[in-house]
Amino acid sequence: MGGPSAPITVKSLLDLDFINRFTRDLPADPETTTRPREVTGALYSRVSPTAVAAPGLVAGSPECAALIGLDPAELGSEEFARVFGGNALVPGMDPFAMAYGGHQFGHWAGQLGDGRAINLGEVRGPEGEGWTLQLKGAGMTPYSRRADGLAVLRSSVREFLCSEAMHHLGVPTTRALSLVTTGDQVMRDMFYDGNAKLEPGAIVCRVSRSFVRFGSFELPASRGDEALLRDLADHVIRTSFPELGAPPSGAPIPAEIYVAWVREVVRRTAVMVAHWMRVGFVHGVMNTDNMSILGETIDYGPYGWLEGYDPGWTPNTTDAQGKRYRFGHQHQIAHWNLTRFASAVVPLAGDVEALQDAVDSFQSVYTEAWTGMLAAKLGLPEFEEERDGPLAVELFRILELQETDMTIFFRELARPLTGDPVGALAAAAYGDGFEPETRAALEAWITSYRDRMAALGVEDGPRRAHMDGANPRYVLRNYLAQLAIDRAAKGDPEGVAELLEVLRRPYEDQPGRDEYAARRPEWARHRAGCSMLSCSS
């Protein structure tokens, strides 16, 4: 056995090591203005953040700072706020905006790109890995079209908190390093109803190994630019998928590695969506330009957590009629999006049948991941389809009988199955407890569930420990985020800090913090920002 590993040395902001492989290796747009335009023959445009009036830190993530090798003490410095508010660059940064396209609500939208995101550069992390730092809301880029490239406080608070909340829930996700207010006012029409108003501006620094999306490949493929498509794919495979064993730069990548890469993207995406279903998360806008090539949750816009269990619920007001991105449809949309991605890289792999087989593996990977997670949610040692499938189907049918909070229900289900377990589960029911039909169905289900546990020899103590590790007590309910936004808008950042602290330990019972685990209050049912949201930033 070897000795203890060397301690990781954290660095100051000025000492971060920028390696910038994306801009080093890939072709750039020759024009450096922010003039809206079609960008061809290039994968990005160099552009700098727009200076703001008075950058000020609202919140930072010490864990994310440590992830990239930054001393968490740096978060509170004035220089940190200047850099991550867009007013300064540190040596080595090479800011740029990426070009990509995408299918939006099932329709090809052509060129999209980073319209309000600017990548500052790629930092070498403590283990030698690369981490891209990206400012969201830092000003115009060539891809902003008719927009201003800015973001407002409400959407930035939600993005910052959700990025970190999802990480602590164990869901693959991009991370968030900081949330900075700009001191500027930004005009936004929150619900696209003609009632635009000024709101406080803010910027989030997002962190990921890569911000490349499915749509990053769709755009050059749509233009027949195979050389650019290959450049991007080869870069992504070599930098983000080293386990595939691609030859070093300069040597061609064999067709079978492109197929293996697609299969791995399919696997990661399937596992990610299964995690969404496990915790009751709804992304809200699963366009192909909002799907990470790494299988990470990306672009936290009109997202939400299920309050009452409803497979047909979407948090996105734009999707309220068609409900394309509803909770129960997310795995099917992921599969559809993966088909678009695989279609884009056909020129590289050549073998359409092999690519189709890779995409078709989605369902089996997803089913295996989801049933494994469902077993944990139910406290089962493993999921046996013949015996446990009907049990699970009946439970989800019952949860739809009346408005029942998914998060609270599964957490309470872990309690001992003695006495009146259905009475304890009533804490999850909205209104005045369970109605007679629901209660009768649950009593019958609990009997079957108790019998199943007895047959497996599973006792209440181990069952509860198993379930509490899969069923969070705390999730980022939209109304909780809105309360933190309200305080931040009045100059009080403590609401964001307090909520972040709770979300850092979502599976633990935290004494004195019951209000963060409560059902959505009635006043929040229809209040703006507390239920459905728009894509407005």
Over residues 175-190, the pLDDT tens digits come to 999 999 999 999 998 8
The Cα–Cα gap between 128 and 21 comes to 13
To 10 degrees, the CA torsion angle through 281, 106, 117, 41?
140
Closest of 362, 211, 169, 237 to residue 298, by C-alpha: 211
Q: What are phi and psi of 448, to 5 degrees?
A: -65, -40
The Cα–Cα gap between 533 and 477 comes to 13
- In the block, tokens 């068609």 appear at 322
Mean pLDDT to the nearest integer, 153-165 = 98
- Residues serving a catalytic function are 289
Mean pLDDT to the nearest integer, 346-365 = 97
User: Does the pLDDT at position 142 exceed 90?
Assistant: yes
Compute the C-alpha angle 118/119/123, nearest 5°. Answer: 160
DSSP-assigned letter for residue 224: T
Closest of 291, 282, 360 to residue 323, by C-alpha: 282
Over residues 273-299, the pLDDT tens digits come to 999 999 999 999 999 999 999 999 999
Q: Which residue has the higher pLDDT, 123 or 191?
A: 123
Q: How far is CA 248 from CA 18, 237, 251, 461, in A?
A: 21, 11, 6, 52
Q: How far is CA 225 from CA 81, 213, 341, in A?
A: 40, 17, 15
User: Does the pLDDT at position 7 exceed 90?
Assistant: no
The Cα–Cα gap between 137 and 537 comes to 9
Q: Are 102 and 218 in contact (CB under 8 A)?
A: yes
The Cα–Cα gap between 80 and 95 comes to 16
Q: What are phi and psi of 307, to 5 degrees?
A: -95, -85
Mean pLDDT to the nearest integer, 365-374 = 98
Return the number of other C-beta atoms located less than 10 Å from residue 76's C-beta.
10
Q: Can you tell me whether residue 67 is helix, strand or coil?
A: helix
Mean pLDDT to the nearest integer, 415-434 = 94
Instruction: Look at residue 2 in the predicted model and tell me its pLDDT.
Output: 44
Determine which helix (DSSP H) or strand (DSSP E) holds 445, and give its type and residue range: helix 436-456
Q: Are 197 and 178 in contact (CB under 8 A)?
A: no
The Cα–Cα gap between 211 and 296 comes to 10
Q: How far is CA 134 from CA 93, 171, 208, 211, 422, in A?
A: 11, 20, 8, 9, 47
* The pair of three-digit structure tokens given for residue 532, joined into one six-digit string: 């459905």
User: Does the pLDDT at position 195 exceed 80?
Assistant: yes
Whether the CA torsion 70, 75, 81, 82 is positive or negative: it is negative
- In the block, tokens 């920028």 appear at 18
Instruction: Look at residue 288 in the predicted model and tell me its pLDDT.
Output: 98
Over residues 17-35, the pLDDT tens digits come to 999 999 999 999 999 999 9
Mean pLDDT of the chain: 96
Instruction: Look at residue 193 in the predicted model and tell me its pLDDT.
Output: 76
Closest of 395, 412, 406, 402 to residue 435, by C-alpha: 402
The Cα–Cα gap between 26 and 228 comes to 9
Instruction: Look at residue 204 in the predicted model and tell me its pLDDT.
Output: 98
Q: Are 163 and 300 in contact (CB under 8 A)?
A: yes
The Cα–Cα gap between 534 and 512 comes to 33
Mean pLDDT to the nearest integer, 55-78 = 97
Percent of the chain with pLDDT strictly greater than 70: 98
* The pair of three-digit structure tokens given for residue 128, joined into one six-digit string: 């030698």
User: Does the pLDDT at position 9 exceed 90?
Assistant: no
Mean pLDDT to the nearest integer, 470-480 = 97
Determine which helix (DSSP H) or strand (DSSP E) holds 97, and give its type and residue range: strand 96-98
The β-bridge partners of 422 are: none
User: Does the pLDDT at position 3 exceed 70?
Assistant: no
Distance linking the first and last C-alpha atoms of the chain: 52
User: Does the pLDDT at position 434 exceed 50?
Assistant: yes
Q: Are 278 and 507 in contact (CB under 8 A)?
A: no
User: Does the pLDDT at position 1 exceed 70?
Assistant: no
Instruction: Look at residue 8 in the predicted model and tell me its pLDDT.
Output: 61
User: Does the pLDDT at position 5 exceed 60?
Assistant: no
